[in-house]
Chains A and B, each alone.
Chain A
Amino acid sequence: MAERSGTTEALDLVLADLRALSEDIESCAVLSGDQDLLSSSHTSAVDRERAGALLSALVNLSDRVARESGKNHASQLRIDAGDGHLLLVRLEGGGVLAATTGPEARVGLVLYDMRNSRGEVEKVLAKGSDE
């Protein structure tokens, strides 16, 4: 449990850095390969659970679409949701780094910053699983 919270704290720091770097990001989270929401801006357990379940459903759906296209999975997903964008970057081990933005966000730039942060997130996850 202590290891888990250490990983969560380290992920929170990486996500805080990402948000500081990319001002267009409104919220971001990391979903593990086991589809647990490891880090999120929500403090309420109910909201975290709901966000995690929705994100997990989306990842499963995108995997299904990828398989139908003859691929294993999508490495990056960009969704225009009307009131904003949802951006997903796949991590090693099947997890995802996800972020939401407003409708006027510079999405390409946000994705660039997310791809740059991916290595840090993977490093934290790998360290957490080693301990």
Chain B
Amino acid sequence: MKKLLRRLLLLGAIAGAVYAARGYLRAESAATESVQMVFDDGSTRSLASNTTEGREVTDIARKIVEIGL
């Protein structure tokens, strides 16, 4: 009985670790760089889509692309 319980606990721990790793990898892949800014001095800055600024810029851009200019 104890052995079974230990195995169940081990299985639960493995399942939890797999679930956490999946969530982490999914969040990583969702953070694509959707905005690229180039400044006068040639330097650049990228905003990832999972940041507040990146999301704000992308939301407005999406509406503009939808209605056209």
Interface residues of chain A, those whose CB is within 8 Å of chain B, are: 26-29, 40-42, 47, 50-51, 54-55, 57-58, 61-62, 65-66, 69, 71-86, 98-100
B37 touches which one: A55, A74, A80, A82 (CB < 8 A)? A74
Find out whether the CB atom of B40 lies under 8 angstroms from the CB atom of A75. yes
Q: What's the dominant secondary structure at chain A's contact region?
A: mixed
User: How far is it, in angstroms, between the C-alpha of A50 and the C-alpha of B64 when the chains are bound?
Assistant: 9
Known contacts A65-B37, A71-B40; A81/B45 CB under 8 A:
no
B58 touches which one: A29, A40, A81, A100 (CB < 8 A)? A81
Find out whether the CB atom of B45 lies under 8 angstroms from the CB atom of A69. yes
Interface residues of chain B, those whose CB is within 8 Å of chain A, are: 32, 34-41, 43, 45, 47, 53, 56-58, 60-69
B69 touches which one: A40, A65, A66 (CB < 8 A)? A40
By beta carbon, the residue of chain A nearest B49 is A80
Q: How far is the CB of A109 from chain B (nearest CB, A)?
A: 15
Known contacts A40-B69, A61-B60, A84-B65; A78/B36 CB under 8 A:
yes
> Could you name 21 residue pairs across A and B whose Cβ atoms are closer than 8 Å?
A27-B69, A42-B68, A51-B68, A51-B69, A54-B60, A54-B67, A58-B57, A65-B53, A66-B37, A71-B40, A74-B38, A75-B39, A77-B35, A79-B36, A80-B35, A80-B58, A81-B65, A84-B65, A86-B64, A98-B64, A99-B69
